Structure 1
Amino acid sequence: MKEHDGKHGATITIVGAGIVGLAAAIELQRKGFDVTIIDKEGAGAGASKGNAGHFATEQVFPLADPSILPKLPGMLLDPLGPFRIQPKYFVKALPWFMRFLINMLPGRRTQNTRAIKALNRSSIAAMKELVSFCDCEALLTLNGSLLVFENTPLDEVNKELTAYANAGVEVQLLDGTQVRKLEPSLSKTITHALYFTHVGHTSDPYDLCKALELKFISLGGKFVTEELVKVAVAKSSSSIQLEMVTGTSKQINKLVIAAGAWSKPFAKQLGHRVPLESERGYHLMMPQLSKLSRPVASYNRKFIITPMAEGTRLAGTVEFGGLKAPLVPERADCLFAHGKALLPTLFESATVTDGERWMGFRPSLPDSLPVIGRSDKQSNVFFSFGHQHLGLTWSALTAKLLAQEVAGEQSNIDLQPYRIDRFD
């Protein structure tokens, strides 16, 4: 497999070293670009390190779903619930939620679903190709996933099955016996499951990021561990000036903003007002090794269990509280009770204190779509952020699409739904 096509040789700088930025860097190198990554922490140190590790191409529906409205009060009041807004942050988050509500309208929802499916359709193939190129195929397991139901009425289960099947998702309905034949360690309270056969997971999202970083360096990539505070385009030329927190500055020719939840201020400095909000996602990493062979999500409990190389990851809670508030231990700890309910034998002698708490920032836009492509204001500025819950899933594909855009090629997927100017 060729390293790159040698066409360009131009230099480009990427801000952000999560899975999205790292994948983009490698694809740009393969187009012949000389790439530098700037990140304040290091490769995969943010949300990419602690995500659920699920390549979730079955998730074709936007998060703005009108069916959640009647459930919202109960979810907010439930101490074990999956959703929370910090009271002090409510007013600040209100404009985002107003846009979120607008995206529940049928026309918007249909349009956004179509755009999500366009990305999901090719994401697994793109990730297979990327891990092969980076010599880390072992970090991608294509063994499907389960969405399990505990004593849920069968007509409700069938309604979910029909929705996924009608959306083109490869899915099978299993009864409780079939579920436990597939995953014997799961609780007997599980009566049904949807088996998504064409999805996958990684045994360690952080190791995947480090493998991409290693490939990036081997291809001549440069990594700068500094915090960027300001981006400006020179008035007299097309060059871009970057200012660091240390006071140093540098001039560059081309720029990609792939800074996840921290992308909003940089986009604003470049003239774009983007309604980006941070979903604070939690996990509890338990040291016990489950015997699961695939991720298991709970329809009733709204969380996911993923088997990892160093234990079992319980993830899935969402909190709106901004980028500055500290981790709330209870948001991670509440996952333990759910994990124990679905894997009673594994966690029979365990306690919540066995686990390691983690919190990261998911960059989410109210239409559930990322921002991908060239700025309509500066031709040498590009964006790849806002991947919400599907950053890992979409990373390899959006990297290819971005590299095609930067290289001036026709992209494999129409990028119009993901343009930054859709919010103007």
Structure 2
Amino acid sequence: MPDSKNAINSATDSQSTDADIVVVGAGIVGVACALALSREEQRVLVLDEEESGMGASWGNAGHMATEQVFPIADASILTHLPRMLMDPMGPLRLDWRYLPQALPWFSRLLWNLRPKPYWASVAGIRALNERSLGAWQHLLASLDRSELLKADGSFLVYEKPESQDLITALCSRMSHQGVDAEAWHGEAIRERAPKLSERILGGLFFPRTGHVVDPGNVVNTLIAAAKHHGAIFVREHLATAETTAQGVKLVTHSGKRIDTRKVLLAAGAHSAPLARQLTGVKVPLDTERGYHLMLPKEQERLPVAVTSFERRFIMTPMAEGLRLAGTVEFAGLQRPARMQRAWQLHRLSQGLFKTDLDVSDATPWMGFRPSLPDSLPIIDSVNDGKVLLAFGHHHLGLTQAAITADIISHLTNHGERSKKNTSHSLPDLMPYRLNRFS
């Protein structure tokens, strides 16, 4: 390990330290970027007040959701709004106490449902997703940890006869967007997942999707690799950030000053205030609060991830059990978790299997997903390359983390070919630029 990287480690105990790039945020996106940058022989320092890899990066559904190329909402959200406000256990909930704060964001969301911006969002999501699985396979293979990702596909299943036409229409829409989707009958689905009940009439199989067997292990694997290449991880809360003639000056809540040539903001749902300090742009970032229920006694229930079309949640097999996830709640960052929503996932599962799931020793969880009203992340380099941005991936943070890291590595090298060979092209970055909000 180069001595210059050891210098960062020793400097973190003093009042000032130097780094080539400071990554703010140690979630899956920040960690993947830190690894990519440290492999480029950058002196990387990662700051996060929480333990690295926790939050949504640990608690996500584990699904590599490359099939999800449509924005988080469509025009039907208008008809759902009363139910969102009134039903605390609904799959999509808006806390009425948060409504005044949420209205500007929802107004922008509705504005983006006009045909032109809507289809621009679809194109932007698709461009990232169609490269995401390959980027992850390449990344994990380079770490000799390919077994952490099962690229075995996933199902979207339905139970009601009246859902068949909707599923057929969805399949057609996805096919027009280049998403591989196969219509399967219920019997064929049960041959693949024999513990599902006879209520499953059919569904779609997505062969170019997959799931990770342990989201926490994936993050920790990337952290270990980044440390091996010299990245330093420090638990500190960043108080202020400003660009200077030489680079960027950061000050933590403990008073530590950090001088760096560049900063990468990848703090997920907590990115907006720092983005404004660093760029002057007020980013319309809000939070999807996601819940999961982990069932440790259900390790053998499913071979692949299965989503219920009518019940609107996903079940993902993992090394530690079966994870039920998928509800969305808009209530901001401050309100306490409503863990009844996590337990509601078990109730939603009833009837989907031949025998009910075992909830012995089950654990609920809630985390924050960073969401922008056009359903696209911000991935950009601004202020003469001193400030890089990688946040706002909403529920596709895990899916898009590896390709985002490749893009950030590319931007850090000023568009020159990276030393790290990738097996995939990079998308046009225009849809993800910060200036769409300035």
Category of TM-score, reference length = shorter chain: over 0.9
CA RMSD of aligned residues (A): 1.7
* Distance in structure 2 (CA, Å) of the matches to 1:77 and 1:88: 12
TM-score, normalised relative to structure 1: 0.93
Letter in 2 for 1:101: L
- How far has the Cα of 1:369 moved from its partner? 0.4
1:239, CA displacement in angstroms?
A: 2.6
The residue correspondences of 1:377-416 to structure 2 (distance < 5 A) are 377-409=383-415, 412-416=426-430
Please point out which of 76, 98, 108 is paired with 1:89.
Answer: 98
Q: After superposing the two structures, state which structure 1 stretch, 258-267 or 321-330, moved more.
A: 321-330
Q: Check the 8 A contact 2:66/2:132 in 1, yes or no.
A: yes
**Where does residue 376 of structure 2 map in the other structure?**
369
- Is the 8 Å Cα contact of residues 156 and 204 (structure 2) preserved in structure 1? yes
**Structure-2 change in CA distance of 1:75 and 1:85 (3 Å):** closer
Mapping 1:210-359, distance limit 5 Å: 210-234=220-244, 237-270=245-278, 271-288=280-297, 289-347=299-357, 350-351=358-359, 354-359=361-366
Whole-angstrom distance in 1 between the partners of 2:111 and 2:128 = 22
Could you tell me how far 1:165 is from its partner in structure 2? 1.4
CA deviation after TM superposition for structure 1 residue 422, in Å: 0.7
Deviation at 1:75, TM superposition (A): 4.9
Alignment check: 8 A CA contact 2:48 2:235 kept: yes
Q: Partners in 2 of 1:404 and 1:331 — Cα distance?
A: 40
State the Cα distance separating 1:18 from its structure 2 match.
0.7
| Residues 326-359 of structure 1: CA deviation (Å, up to 9, x unaligned) | 1111111111111233234251xx34x7321101
Hey, what's the Cα distance between the residues in 2 that align with 1:183 and 1:78?
A: 32
Alpha carbons 2:34, 2:226 under 8 Å: kept: yes
Map 1:12-161 onto structure 2 (within 5 A).
12-153=21-162, 154-161=164-171
Instruction: Say if 1:75 and 1:320 are closer, same or farther in 2 by CA, change over 3 A.
Output: closer
Q: Kindly tell me: are residues 59 and 361 of structure 1, through their superposed partners in 2, closer, same or farther at Cα, counting changes over 3 Å?
A: same
Give, in whole Å, the separation in 1 of the partners of 2:69 and 2:347: 28
Give secondary structure in 1 for the equivalent of 2:301. coil
The Cα shift of 1:247 comes to 2.1
In the alignment, residue 272 of structure 2 is paired with which amino acid?
Answer: K
Count of aligned pairs: 410
Structure 2: distance between partners of 1:69 and 1:341? 30
- TM-score scaled by length of structure 2: 0.90
Q: Match of 1:363, as an amino acid?
A: P
Given that residues 87 and 93 in structure 2 are in contact (C-alpha distance below 8 angstroms), is that contact kept between their aligned partners in structure 1? Answer: no
Residue 210 (structure 1) shift: 0.3
Q: Verify the 8 A CA contact 1:31 1:407 in the aligned structure 2.
A: no
Cα distance change of structure 1 residues 64 and 156 upon mapping to structure 2, 3 Å threshold: closer
How far did residue 152 of structure 1 move?
3.6
Give the counterpart letter for 2:185 in structure 1. Answer: D
Deviation at 1:11, TM superposition (A): 1.4
Q: Check 1:136–1:222 CA distance in 2 against 1; reply closer, same or farther (3 A cut).
A: same
Please tell me whether the aligned partners of residues 19 and 395 of structure 1 are also in contact (alpha carbons under 8 angstroms).
yes
Deviation at 1:246, TM superposition (A): 1.4
Residue 52 of structure 1 contacts residue 315 of structure 1 at CA under 8 Å; is this kept in 2?
yes
Q: Give the AA of the match of 2:342.
A: A
Give the percent of matched residue pairs that are identical in Structure 1 and Structure 2: 44
Give the distance between the partners of 2:228 and 2:92, measured in 1 at CA: 42
Structure 2 Cα separation of the partners of residues 15 and 22 of structure 1: 10
In structure 2, C-alpha distance between the alignment counterparts of 1:390 and 1:329, rounded to whole Å: 22
